Protein backbone atom coordinates (compact mmCIF):
# COMPACT_ATOMS: atom_id res chain seq x y z
CA UNK A 1 0.00 0.00 0.00
CA UNK A 2 1.32 3.44 -0.93
CA UNK A 3 2.43 5.50 2.06
CA UNK A 4 0.16 8.37 2.91
CA UNK A 5 1.44 11.76 1.94
CA UNK A 6 1.62 14.35 4.70
CA UNK A 7 0.94 17.99 4.00
CA UNK A 8 2.66 20.15 6.58
CA UNK A 9 0.77 23.40 7.00
CA UNK A 10 3.05 26.23 8.02
CA UNK A 11 2.54 29.53 9.79
CA UNK A 12 5.21 32.22 9.54
CA UNK A 13 5.75 34.50 12.50
CA UNK A 14 7.32 37.51 10.72
CA UNK A 15 8.07 38.26 7.10
CA UNK A 16 11.77 38.69 7.76
CA UNK A 17 14.55 38.62 5.18
CA UNK A 18 15.25 34.99 5.94
CA UNK A 19 11.54 34.12 5.69
CA UNK A 20 11.83 35.40 2.11
CA UNK A 21 14.49 32.75 1.51
CA UNK A 22 13.12 29.88 3.57
CA UNK A 23 9.49 29.92 2.50
CA UNK A 24 10.00 30.16 -1.28
CA UNK A 25 12.70 27.46 -0.96
CA UNK A 26 10.19 25.27 0.82
CA UNK A 27 7.22 25.94 -1.40
CA UNK A 28 8.71 26.14 -4.89
CA UNK A 29 10.35 23.48 -7.06
CA UNK A 30 9.11 20.58 -4.98
CA UNK A 31 8.82 17.19 -6.64
CA UNK A 32 5.16 16.27 -6.80
CA UNK A 33 6.17 12.77 -5.66
CA UNK A 34 7.83 13.96 -2.43
CA UNK A 35 6.43 12.19 0.62
CA UNK A 36 6.06 15.47 2.46
CA UNK A 37 4.27 18.42 1.00
CA UNK A 38 4.49 21.91 2.48
CA UNK A 39 1.92 24.67 2.42
CA UNK A 40 1.97 28.14 3.90
CA UNK A 41 -1.41 28.80 5.49
CA UNK A 42 -0.91 31.77 7.85
CA UNK A 43 1.47 34.66 8.33
CA UNK A 44 1.72 37.32 10.98
CA UNK A 45 3.39 40.65 10.47
CA UNK A 46 3.85 43.84 12.42
CA UNK A 47 3.56 45.64 9.08
CA UNK A 48 0.45 47.36 7.75
CA UNK A 49 -2.24 45.98 5.45
CA UNK A 50 -0.18 45.97 2.26
CA UNK A 51 2.95 44.40 3.84
CA UNK A 52 1.77 40.80 3.63
CA UNK A 53 0.10 41.24 0.23
CA UNK A 54 3.31 42.68 -1.24
CA UNK A 55 5.44 40.02 0.41
CA UNK A 56 3.27 37.15 -0.85
CA UNK A 57 3.36 38.57 -4.36
CA UNK A 58 7.09 39.31 -4.40
CA UNK A 59 7.88 35.84 -3.17
CA UNK A 60 5.42 34.18 -5.56
CA UNK A 61 3.84 32.23 -2.71
CA UNK A 62 1.38 29.62 -4.04
CA UNK A 63 -2.30 29.96 -3.07
CA UNK A 64 -1.62 33.39 -1.65
CA UNK A 65 -5.32 34.26 -1.71
CA UNK A 66 -6.12 31.58 0.87
CA UNK A 67 -3.36 32.51 3.31
CA UNK A 68 -4.68 34.06 6.51
CA UNK A 69 -2.84 37.24 7.44
CA UNK A 70 -2.68 38.20 11.10
CA UNK A 71 -1.53 41.52 12.44
CA UNK A 72 -0.98 40.04 15.87
CA UNK A 73 1.40 37.13 16.27
CA UNK A 74 -0.28 36.23 19.55
CA UNK A 75 -3.62 35.88 17.80
CA UNK A 76 -2.09 33.69 15.09
CA UNK A 77 -0.53 31.43 17.71
CA UNK A 78 -3.73 31.23 19.71
CA UNK A 79 -6.27 30.80 16.92
CA UNK A 80 -4.50 29.75 13.72
CA UNK A 81 -4.97 26.34 12.13
CA UNK A 82 -1.51 25.04 11.16
CA UNK A 83 1.03 22.27 11.95
CA UNK A 84 4.31 24.15 12.50
CA UNK A 85 5.16 27.78 13.12
CA UNK A 86 8.39 29.17 11.68
CA UNK A 87 9.71 31.96 13.92
CA UNK A 88 12.24 34.27 12.31
CA UNK A 89 12.25 37.42 14.37
CA UNK A 90 15.53 38.93 15.67
CA UNK A 91 17.11 36.59 18.22
CA UNK A 92 16.28 38.49 21.45
CA UNK A 93 12.59 37.97 20.60
CA UNK A 94 12.88 34.22 20.06
CA UNK A 95 12.42 33.32 23.71
CA UNK A 96 9.09 35.15 24.14
CA UNK A 97 7.81 34.09 20.72
CA UNK A 98 8.71 30.43 21.13
CA UNK A 99 7.42 30.38 24.69
CA UNK A 100 4.03 31.70 23.62
CA UNK A 101 3.92 29.25 20.69
CA UNK A 102 4.65 26.34 23.00
CA UNK A 103 2.07 27.54 25.50
CA UNK A 104 -0.39 27.37 22.59
CA UNK A 105 0.83 23.79 21.97
CA UNK A 106 2.41 24.59 18.62
CA UNK A 107 5.25 22.72 16.94
CA UNK A 108 8.04 25.24 16.41
CA UNK A 109 10.96 25.77 14.05
CA UNK A 110 12.89 28.76 15.39
CA UNK A 111 15.72 30.55 13.62
CA UNK A 112 19.28 30.39 14.86
CA UNK A 113 20.39 31.12 17.49
CA UNK A 114 17.36 29.55 19.12
CA UNK A 115 17.78 31.77 22.16
CA UNK A 116 20.14 34.36 23.62
CA UNK A 117 21.50 31.90 26.17
CA UNK A 118 21.41 28.34 27.41
CA UNK A 119 19.09 29.02 30.32
CA UNK A 120 16.41 30.25 27.93
CA UNK A 121 16.96 27.26 25.64
CA UNK A 122 16.69 24.76 28.49
CA UNK A 123 13.49 26.39 29.65
CA UNK A 124 11.95 26.11 26.17
CA UNK A 125 13.07 22.50 25.74
CA UNK A 126 11.41 21.58 29.03
CA UNK A 127 8.24 23.37 28.04
CA UNK A 128 8.12 21.66 24.60
CA UNK A 129 8.35 18.28 26.32
CA UNK A 130 5.78 19.21 28.91
CA UNK A 131 3.18 20.35 26.37
CA UNK A 132 3.91 17.45 24.01
CA UNK A 133 5.05 19.25 20.87
CA UNK A 134 8.19 19.37 18.69
CA UNK A 135 10.76 22.15 18.92
CA UNK A 136 13.75 22.57 16.61
CA UNK A 137 16.41 25.22 16.05
CA UNK A 138 16.68 26.10 12.36
CA UNK A 139 20.35 25.10 12.16
CA UNK A 140 19.80 24.16 8.52
CA UNK A 141 23.50 23.45 7.83
CA UNK A 142 23.26 20.28 9.92
CA UNK A 143 20.64 18.80 7.60
CA UNK A 144 22.32 19.34 4.22
CA UNK A 145 23.52 16.27 2.26
CA UNK A 146 27.21 17.24 2.48
CA UNK A 147 27.03 17.74 6.24
CA UNK A 148 25.19 14.47 6.77
CA UNK A 149 27.73 12.70 4.56
CA UNK A 150 30.56 14.21 6.60
CA UNK A 151 29.01 13.20 9.90
CA UNK A 152 27.79 9.71 9.05
CA UNK A 153 30.12 8.48 6.29
CA UNK A 154 33.42 10.32 6.63
CA UNK A 155 33.79 10.99 10.32
CA UNK A 156 33.71 7.28 11.22
CA UNK A 157 36.59 6.64 8.73
CA UNK A 158 39.11 9.44 9.26
CA UNK A 159 40.49 8.32 12.61
CA UNK A 160 40.54 10.46 15.72
CA UNK A 161 39.85 14.12 15.17
CA UNK A 162 42.68 16.09 16.72
CA UNK A 163 42.34 19.66 15.49
CA UNK A 164 39.59 21.72 13.90
CA UNK A 165 39.64 25.17 12.32
CA UNK A 166 36.15 26.52 11.85
CA UNK A 167 35.92 29.94 10.28
CA UNK A 168 32.83 31.87 9.25
CA UNK A 169 33.47 35.47 8.36
CA UNK A 170 32.19 37.71 5.64
CA UNK A 171 31.80 41.46 5.47
CA UNK A 172 28.11 42.04 6.22
CA UNK A 173 29.03 45.36 7.80
CA UNK A 174 29.89 48.00 5.24
CA UNK A 175 30.48 51.66 6.09
CA UNK A 176 27.01 52.58 4.81
CA UNK A 177 25.10 49.93 6.79
CA UNK A 178 22.52 51.63 9.00
CA UNK A 179 23.32 51.44 12.70
CA UNK A 180 19.68 50.48 13.15
CA UNK A 181 20.12 47.29 11.17
CA UNK A 182 19.85 44.13 13.31
CA UNK A 183 23.54 43.52 12.51
CA UNK A 184 24.58 46.65 14.42
CA UNK A 185 21.78 47.19 16.93
CA UNK A 186 22.59 45.50 20.22
CA UNK A 187 18.92 45.60 21.25
CA UNK A 188 18.22 43.36 18.23
CA UNK A 189 20.98 40.94 19.30
CA UNK A 190 23.72 42.33 17.02
CA UNK A 191 27.10 40.66 17.11
CA UNK A 192 29.12 38.24 15.05
CA UNK A 193 29.23 35.52 17.69
CA UNK A 194 25.47 34.95 17.89
CA UNK A 195 24.94 35.56 14.18
CA UNK A 196 27.89 33.78 12.55
CA UNK A 197 29.65 32.05 15.45
CA UNK A 198 26.68 29.74 15.89
CA UNK A 199 27.55 28.19 12.49
CA UNK A 200 31.31 27.99 13.03
CA UNK A 201 30.72 26.42 16.44
CA UNK A 202 28.27 24.00 14.86
CA UNK A 203 31.07 22.80 12.57
CA UNK A 204 33.37 22.46 15.58
CA UNK A 205 30.63 20.44 17.25
CA UNK A 206 30.08 18.22 14.21
CA UNK A 207 33.80 17.48 14.04
CA UNK A 208 34.40 17.01 17.76
CA UNK A 209 31.11 15.47 18.84
CA UNK A 210 29.50 14.23 15.65
CA UNK A 211 30.36 10.66 16.57
CA UNK A 212 30.25 10.89 20.32
CA UNK A 213 27.42 8.95 21.86
CA UNK A 214 25.96 10.09 25.14
CA UNK A 215 27.65 7.03 26.72
CA UNK A 216 31.11 8.45 25.98
CA UNK A 217 32.57 10.41 28.82
CA UNK A 218 33.87 13.44 27.01
CA UNK A 219 33.50 17.12 27.59
CA UNK A 220 34.11 19.96 25.19
CA UNK A 221 34.60 23.36 26.73
CA UNK A 222 35.63 26.85 25.80
CA UNK A 223 39.08 27.56 27.19
CA UNK A 224 39.78 30.87 25.46
CA UNK A 225 37.70 33.59 23.86
CA UNK A 226 38.68 37.00 22.56
CA UNK A 227 36.62 39.63 20.79
CA UNK A 228 37.20 42.94 19.02
CA UNK A 229 34.17 45.19 18.42
CA UNK A 230 33.07 46.83 15.16
CA UNK A 231 34.84 50.20 15.20
CA UNK A 232 32.69 53.33 15.48
CA UNK A 233 29.48 51.58 16.50
CA UNK A 234 27.72 52.16 19.79
CA UNK A 235 27.51 49.43 22.38
CA UNK A 236 30.51 47.23 21.52
CA UNK A 237 29.07 45.04 18.79
CA UNK A 238 31.37 42.01 18.73
CA UNK A 239 33.10 41.50 15.41
CA UNK A 240 36.48 39.75 15.23
CA UNK A 241 36.09 36.75 17.48
CA UNK A 242 38.51 33.95 18.31
CA UNK A 243 37.46 31.01 20.44
CA UNK A 244 39.38 27.91 21.45
CA UNK A 245 37.57 24.75 22.50
CA UNK A 246 39.16 21.75 24.19
CA UNK A 247 37.70 18.29 24.04
CA UNK A 248 38.67 16.14 26.97
CA UNK A 249 38.05 12.53 27.78
CA UNK A 250 37.25 11.53 31.30
CA UNK A 251 38.68 8.12 32.13
CA UNK A 252 37.31 5.62 34.61
CA UNK A 253 39.31 6.97 37.53
CA UNK A 254 38.00 10.47 36.78
CA UNK A 255 41.28 11.64 35.23
CA UNK A 256 41.10 13.97 32.25
CA UNK A 257 42.93 13.52 28.99
CA UNK A 258 43.06 16.04 26.15
CA UNK A 259 41.52 14.61 22.96
CA UNK A 260 41.23 17.48 20.50
CA UNK A 261 41.22 21.22 20.04
CA UNK A 262 39.15 23.57 17.88
CA UNK A 263 39.94 27.11 16.82
CA UNK A 264 36.84 29.00 15.85
CA UNK A 265 36.84 32.44 14.23
CA UNK A 266 34.21 34.86 12.96
CA UNK A 267 33.94 38.41 11.71
CA UNK A 268 31.35 40.71 10.18
CA UNK A 269 33.98 43.05 8.69
CA UNK A 270 36.77 40.76 7.48
CA UNK A 271 36.17 38.62 4.39
CA UNK A 272 37.65 35.50 6.01
CA UNK A 273 37.62 32.74 3.41
CA UNK A 274 34.74 34.37 1.51
CA UNK A 275 34.82 36.46 -1.60
CA UNK A 276 33.61 39.97 -0.85
CA UNK A 277 30.71 39.46 -3.26
CA UNK A 278 29.31 36.68 -1.09
CA UNK A 279 26.73 38.73 0.70
CA UNK A 280 25.24 40.03 -2.54
CA UNK A 281 25.25 36.78 -4.44
CA UNK A 282 25.58 34.10 -1.77
CA UNK A 283 27.20 31.78 -4.28
CA UNK A 284 30.94 32.31 -4.06
CA UNK A 285 33.44 29.59 -3.43
CA UNK A 286 37.16 29.89 -2.94
CA UNK A 287 39.94 27.39 -2.54
CA UNK A 288 40.88 28.43 1.00
CA UNK A 289 38.77 26.23 3.22
CA UNK A 290 36.40 27.70 5.73
CA UNK A 291 36.55 24.56 7.85
CA UNK A 292 39.45 22.15 8.15
CA UNK A 293 39.23 19.03 10.26
CA UNK A 294 42.49 17.22 10.97
CA UNK A 295 42.26 13.63 12.11
CA UNK A 296 44.76 10.81 12.48
CA UNK A 297 44.02 9.29 9.04
CA UNK A 298 42.86 12.21 6.95
CA UNK A 299 41.95 15.85 6.90
CA UNK A 300 38.66 17.19 5.56
CA UNK A 301 38.22 20.70 4.18
CA UNK A 302 34.94 22.46 3.64
CA UNK A 303 35.01 25.41 1.25
CA UNK A 304 33.21 28.67 1.83
CA UNK A 305 30.34 29.14 2.59
CA UNK A 306 30.42 26.62 5.44
CA UNK A 307 26.77 27.34 6.17
CA UNK A 308 25.90 25.66 2.85
CA UNK A 309 28.52 23.01 2.14
CA UNK A 310 28.30 21.17 -1.16
CA UNK A 311 31.79 19.70 -1.50
CA UNK A 312 34.19 18.03 0.89
CA UNK A 313 37.92 17.76 0.16
CA UNK A 314 39.59 14.83 1.83
CA UNK A 315 43.33 14.33 2.05
CA UNK A 316 44.08 10.80 3.13
CA UNK A 317 47.46 10.22 4.78
CA UNK A 318 47.13 6.90 6.54
CA UNK A 319 48.99 3.79 5.25
CA UNK A 320 45.92 2.33 3.64
CA UNK A 321 45.34 5.33 1.40
CA UNK A 322 48.87 6.10 0.21
CA UNK A 323 49.38 5.69 -3.53
CA UNK A 324 51.97 3.40 -5.18
CA UNK A 325 54.65 6.07 -4.64
CA UNK A 326 53.79 6.36 -1.01
CA UNK A 327 52.08 9.73 -1.45
CA UNK A 328 48.91 10.98 0.14
CA UNK A 329 45.73 10.71 -1.90
CA UNK A 330 43.00 13.25 -2.41
CA UNK A 331 39.29 12.73 -2.69
CA UNK A 332 36.70 15.30 -3.67
CA UNK A 333 33.20 14.48 -2.52
CA UNK A 334 30.46 16.41 -4.27
CA UNK A 335 27.17 16.52 -2.43
CA UNK A 336 25.17 19.37 -3.90
CA UNK A 337 21.85 20.44 -2.48
CA UNK A 338 19.14 18.86 -4.60
CA UNK A 339 17.28 22.05 -5.33
CA UNK A 340 16.97 25.66 -4.37
CA UNK A 341 19.00 27.08 -1.52
CA UNK A 342 18.66 23.90 0.52
CA UNK A 343 17.26 25.55 3.61
CA UNK A 344 14.18 23.35 3.08
CA UNK A 345 15.88 20.13 4.27
CA UNK A 346 15.37 21.09 7.91
CA UNK A 347 11.67 21.62 7.20
CA UNK A 348 11.34 18.04 6.00
CA UNK A 349 13.01 16.88 9.21
CA UNK A 350 10.52 18.59 11.51
CA UNK A 351 7.56 17.83 9.24
CA UNK A 352 8.41 14.12 9.20
CA UNK A 353 8.59 14.15 13.00
CA UNK A 354 5.27 15.95 13.27
CA UNK A 355 3.69 13.52 10.77
CA UNK A 356 4.93 10.53 12.76
CA UNK A 357 3.51 11.93 15.96
CA UNK A 358 0.12 12.88 14.51
CA UNK A 359 -2.56 10.69 15.93
CA UNK A 360 -0.15 8.92 18.32
CA UNK A 361 -0.24 10.12 21.85
CA UNK A 362 3.48 10.41 22.50
CA UNK A 363 2.98 11.56 26.09
CA UNK A 364 5.92 13.89 25.90
CA UNK A 365 7.23 16.40 23.41
CA UNK A 366 10.65 16.36 21.79
CA UNK A 367 13.40 18.71 20.77
CA UNK A 368 15.20 17.89 17.54
CA UNK A 369 18.93 18.50 18.03
CA UNK A 370 18.51 19.37 21.69
CA UNK A 371 21.99 18.25 22.79
CA UNK A 372 23.72 19.81 19.82
CA UNK A 373 21.95 23.17 19.92
CA UNK A 374 22.27 23.24 23.71
CA UNK A 375 26.02 22.62 23.56
CA UNK A 376 26.63 25.34 21.00
CA UNK A 377 24.49 27.88 22.84
CA UNK A 378 26.30 26.96 26.07
CA UNK A 379 29.67 27.56 24.37
CA UNK A 380 28.46 30.95 23.20
CA UNK A 381 27.50 31.82 26.81
CA UNK A 382 30.97 30.89 28.02
CA UNK A 383 32.75 32.63 25.13
CA UNK A 384 30.76 35.79 25.83
CA UNK A 385 31.72 35.64 29.49
CA UNK A 386 35.41 35.24 28.65
CA UNK A 387 35.48 37.83 25.87
CA UNK A 388 33.24 40.39 27.60
CA UNK A 389 30.37 40.32 25.09
CA UNK A 390 27.42 41.75 26.98
CA UNK A 391 23.75 42.38 26.17
CA UNK A 392 21.15 44.24 28.18
CA UNK A 393 19.98 41.86 30.92
CA UNK A 394 16.38 42.25 29.73
CA UNK A 395 17.25 40.31 26.54
CA UNK A 396 18.62 37.42 28.55
CA UNK A 397 15.78 36.93 31.01
CA UNK A 398 14.17 33.58 31.59
N1 LIG B 1 19.09 30.50 8.59
C2 LIG B 1 19.70 31.50 8.00
O3 LIG B 1 20.43 31.34 7.01
C4 LIG B 1 19.47 32.88 8.52
C5 LIG B 1 18.91 33.07 9.76
N6 LIG B 1 18.69 34.31 10.24
C7 LIG B 1 18.12 34.46 11.59
O8 LIG B 1 16.75 34.86 11.43
C9 LIG B 1 16.40 35.86 12.37
C10 LIG B 1 15.87 37.06 11.60
O11 LIG B 1 16.90 37.61 10.82
P12 LIG B 1 16.56 38.52 9.53
O13 LIG B 1 15.76 37.77 8.57
O14 LIG B 1 17.83 39.09 9.05
O15 LIG B 1 15.70 39.64 10.23
P16 LIG B 1 14.94 40.89 9.62
O17 LIG B 1 15.45 42.08 10.33
O18 LIG B 1 14.94 40.85 8.14
O19 LIG B 1 13.44 40.60 10.05
C20 LIG B 1 13.02 40.48 11.34
C21 LIG B 1 11.51 40.57 11.32
O22 LIG B 1 11.02 40.30 12.62
C23 LIG B 1 9.75 40.93 12.76
N24 LIG B 1 9.77 41.68 14.01
C25 LIG B 1 10.65 42.63 14.40
N26 LIG B 1 10.32 43.09 15.61
C27 LIG B 1 9.21 42.41 16.00
C28 LIG B 1 8.40 42.43 17.16
N29 LIG B 1 8.65 43.25 18.19
N30 LIG B 1 7.35 41.58 17.23
C31 LIG B 1 7.08 40.74 16.21
N32 LIG B 1 7.81 40.69 15.08
C33 LIG B 1 8.86 41.52 14.98
C34 LIG B 1 9.56 41.86 11.57
O35 LIG B 1 8.72 41.16 10.65
P36 LIG B 1 7.40 41.87 10.07
O37 LIG B 1 7.91 43.07 9.40
O38 LIG B 1 6.78 40.89 9.17
O39 LIG B 1 6.59 42.12 11.29
C40 LIG B 1 10.94 41.94 10.98
O41 LIG B 1 10.90 42.17 9.60
C42 LIG B 1 17.63 36.10 13.22
O43 LIG B 1 17.54 35.39 14.42
C44 LIG B 1 18.78 35.57 12.37
O45 LIG B 1 19.85 35.07 13.13
C46 LIG B 1 18.95 35.40 9.48
C47 LIG B 1 19.49 35.28 8.23
C48 LIG B 1 19.84 34.01 7.66
O1 LIG C 1 22.23 32.94 9.32
C2 LIG C 1 22.89 33.67 8.65
O3 LIG C 1 23.45 33.21 7.52
C4 LIG C 1 23.68 34.04 6.46
C5 LIG C 1 24.07 35.41 6.85
O6 LIG C 1 23.75 36.24 5.78
C7 LIG C 1 23.41 35.99 8.07
O8 LIG C 1 24.20 36.99 8.64
C9 LIG C 1 23.19 35.02 9.14
O10 LIG C 1 22.22 35.52 10.01
Q: Where are the domains of the chain?
A: 6-138+343-369, 142-334
Q: Which residues is 7 bridged to in the sheet?
A: 37
In residues, how long is the chain?
Answer: 398
pLDDT of residue 82: 98
Ligand 2-lining residues (CB < 6 angstroms): 172, 195, 307
Ligand 2 mutation pick, 196, 238, 281, max ligand atoms within 8 A of CB: 196
Does ligand 1 come within 6 angstroms of the Cβ of 185? Answer: no
CA pair distance 272, 289, nearest whole angstrom: 10
Q: Ligand 1: which residue has its CA nearest to atom 27?
A: 89
Top-level CATH class of 142-334? alpha beta
How big is the chain by its Cα radius of gyration, in Å? Answer: 21
Q: Ligand 1: which residue has its CA nearest to atom 16?
A: 16
pLDDT of residue 33: 65
Residue 382 CB neighbours (<10 A): 16
pLDDT of residue 215: 63
Q: How far is the CA of 309 from the centre of ligand 1 (A)?
A: 24
CA-183 nearest atom, ligand 2? 8
pLDDT of residue 1: 40
Ligand 1 mutation pick, 88, 92, 101, max ligand atoms within 8 A of CB: 88
pLDDT of residue 214: 57
Q: Which residues is 384 bridged to in the sheet?
A: none
Q: How far is the CA of 6 from the centre of ligand 1 (A)?
A: 28
CA-199 nearest atom, ligand 2? 1
Ligand 2 mutation pick, 195, 272, 342, max ligand atoms within 8 A of CB: 195
Q: How far is the CA of 194 from the centre of ligand 2 (A)?
A: 10
Return the H-helix or E-strand segment holding 293: strand 289-295
Q: Ligand 1: which residue has its CA nearest to atom 41?
A: 16
Instruction: Give me the long-range contacts of 351-354 (CB less than 8 A, separation at least 24).
Output: 351/6, 351/8, 351/36, 351/38, 351/83, 351/84, 352/6, 352/36, 353/134, 353/136, 354/6, 354/8, 354/83, 354/84, 354/107, 354/134
Q: What is the CATH number of domain 6-138+343-369?
A: 3.40.50.720
CA pair distance 398, 395, nearest whole angstrom: 9
116 within 8 A of 391, measured Cβ to Cβ: yes
Q: How far is the CA of 13 from the centre of ligand 1 (A)?
A: 9
pLDDT of residue 213: 64
Per-residue pLDDT of the chain (398 residues; tens, 9 = 90+): 445 789 999 999 999 999 999 999 999 977 766 789 999 999 999 999 899 999 999 999 999 999 999 999 999 999 999 999 999 999 999 999 999 999 999 999 999 999 999 999 999 999 999 999 999 999 999 999 999 999 999 999 999 999 999 999 988 998 899 999 999 999 999 999 999 999 999 999 999 999 976 567 899 999 999 999 999 898 899 999 999 999 999 888 888 999 999 999 999 999 887 765 554 445 554 446 899 999 999 999 999 899 999 999 999 999 999 999 999 999 999 999 999 999 999 999 999 999 999 877 778 999 999 999 999 999 999 999 999 999 999 999 99
353 within 8 A of 134, measured Cβ to Cβ: yes
11 within 8 A of 85, measured Cβ to Cβ: yes
Return the biggest CA–CA distance within the chain: 70
CA pair distance 309, 25, nearest whole angstrom: 17
138 within 8 A of 111, measured Cβ to Cβ: yes
β-pairing verdict for 238-250 and 256-267: antiparallel
Please state, in angstroms and as integers, the Cα–Cα distance from residue 311 to each residue in 283, 349, 376, following that order. Answer: 13, 22, 24
Q: Ligand 2: which residue has its CA nearest to atom 9?
A: 195
Q: How far is the CA of 142 from the centre of ligand 2 (A)?
A: 15
pLDDT of residue 276: 54
Q: What are phi and psi of 241, to 5 degrees?
A: -115, 140
Q: Which of 58, 269, 278, 292 is nearest to 162 (CA)?
A: 292
Amino acid sequence: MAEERFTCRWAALSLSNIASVFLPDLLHLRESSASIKHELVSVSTTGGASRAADWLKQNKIPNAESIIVYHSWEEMLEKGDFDVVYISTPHPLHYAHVQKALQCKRNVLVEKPATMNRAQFTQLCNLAKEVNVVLMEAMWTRYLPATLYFQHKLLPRIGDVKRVYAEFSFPIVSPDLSHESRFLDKAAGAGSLLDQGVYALTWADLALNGLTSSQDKTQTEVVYAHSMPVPGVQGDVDDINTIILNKIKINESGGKQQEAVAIVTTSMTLPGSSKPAFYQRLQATKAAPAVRIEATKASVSVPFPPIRPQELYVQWYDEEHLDENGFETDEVIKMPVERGWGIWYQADVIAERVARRNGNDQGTGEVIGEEESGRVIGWMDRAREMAGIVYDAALEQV
